[in-house]
């Protein structure tokens, strides 16, 4: 039996978070872009889980499963639209957040590491967009996979390795679709959450930087 001193007081923890002082300069609207980006990420996770219930990551069934979600599933079209709109909105908000960081000089010492983490989160966001874009596996999705993997193949030195890893073989196939689906719903979310935790810890530790 745990002692009272070791019990986790969730209410107190929440009160401390809610009562955490926010500097006056950080109450300007452009300081909200980071929080709004996180909100869109949460929405993406929730709507993505709902979409994954019906989506089938095979060349034969991918397009039809998306069509089924849109036309047959209750509120499926709404969930899919929210997921699509929030994906675009998330990219815009990440860019706005980073522009705010540049404008206020928040990338400078001692916050260089958190800036690198933020740039990594931007790349992960773009990775979400690319891998999600082709999951419909229509003509647009297929050729997006072809062009995207060919771009990876043009990278000096490691291009051939990246191409084979991305395509899961010598050409774009059903295995390519499965690989990008795994990246979209498993690998990228886990990596993103890890970097978000690091990002938030650094912000909490170093505080919100002031303007120029």
For the segment 60-73, what is each residue's pLDDT rounded down to a tens digit? Answer: 999 999 999 999 99
What is the mean pLDDT of the segment spanning 48-67? 98
Angle among Cα 147, 79, 91 to the nearest 5 degrees reads 50
| pLDDT tens figures, 183-193 | 999 999 999 99
Q: What is the pLDDT of residue 23?
A: 80
Angle among Cα 114, 119, 124 to the nearest 5 degrees reads 120
So what CATH class is 23-205? mainly alpha
Alpha-carbon distance 53 to 87, whole Å? 19
Instruction: Reply yes or no on whether the pLDDT at 76 is more than 80.
Output: yes
So where are the chain's domains? Answer: 23-205
Backbone angles phi, psi at 87, to 5 degrees: -65, -45
pTM score: 0.89
Q: Binning pLDDT at 50, 70 and 90, where does residue 132 land?
A: very high
Instruction: Reply yes or no on whether the pLDDT at 7 is more than 80.
Output: no
Instruction: Reply yes or no on whether the pLDDT at 27 is more than 90.
Output: no
**Mean of pLDDT over the chain:** 93
* Per-residue tokens: 175: 């295995």
Q: What is the pLDDT of residue 212?
A: 55
Alpha-carbon distance 153 to 140, whole Å? 20
More confident residue, 131 or 208: 131
* Closest listed residue to residue 210, CA positions, set 67, 104, 92, 127: 104
Sign of the CA dihedral running 41, 44, 49, 50: positive
* Closest listed residue to residue 147, CA positions, set 161, 129, 134: 134
Q: Binning pLDDT at 50, 70 and 90, where does residue 142 land?
A: very high
Q: What is the pLDDT of residue 64?
A: 98
């Amino acid at each position: 039996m745990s002692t009272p001193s070791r019990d986790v007081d969730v209410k107190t923890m929440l009160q401390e978070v809610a009562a955490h002082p926010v500097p006056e300069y950080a109450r300007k609207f452009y300081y909200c872009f980071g929080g709004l980006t996180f909100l869109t990420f949460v929405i993406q996770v929730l709507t993505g889980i709902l979409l994954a219930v019906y989506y089938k990551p095979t060349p034969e069934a991918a397009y039809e499963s998306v069509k089924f979600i849109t036309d047959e599933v209750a509120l499926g079209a709404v969930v899919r639209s929210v997921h699509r709109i929030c994906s675009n909105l998330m990219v815009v908000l990440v860019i706005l957040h980073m522009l705010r960081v540049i404008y206020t000089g928040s990338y400078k010492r001692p916050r260089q590491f958190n800036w690198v983490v933020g740039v990594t989160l931007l790349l992960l966001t773009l990775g979400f967009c690319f891998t999600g874009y082709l999951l419909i596996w229509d003509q647009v999705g297929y050729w997006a996979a072809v062009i995207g993997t060919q771009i990876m193949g043009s990278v000096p030195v490691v291009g051939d390795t990246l191409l084979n890893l991305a395509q899961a073989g010598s050409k774009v196939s059903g295995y390519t679709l499965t690989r990008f689906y795994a990246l979209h719903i498993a690998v990228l979310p886990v990596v993103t959450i890890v970097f978000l935790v690091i990002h938030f810890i650094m912000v909490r530790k170093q505080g919100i930087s002031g303007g120029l």
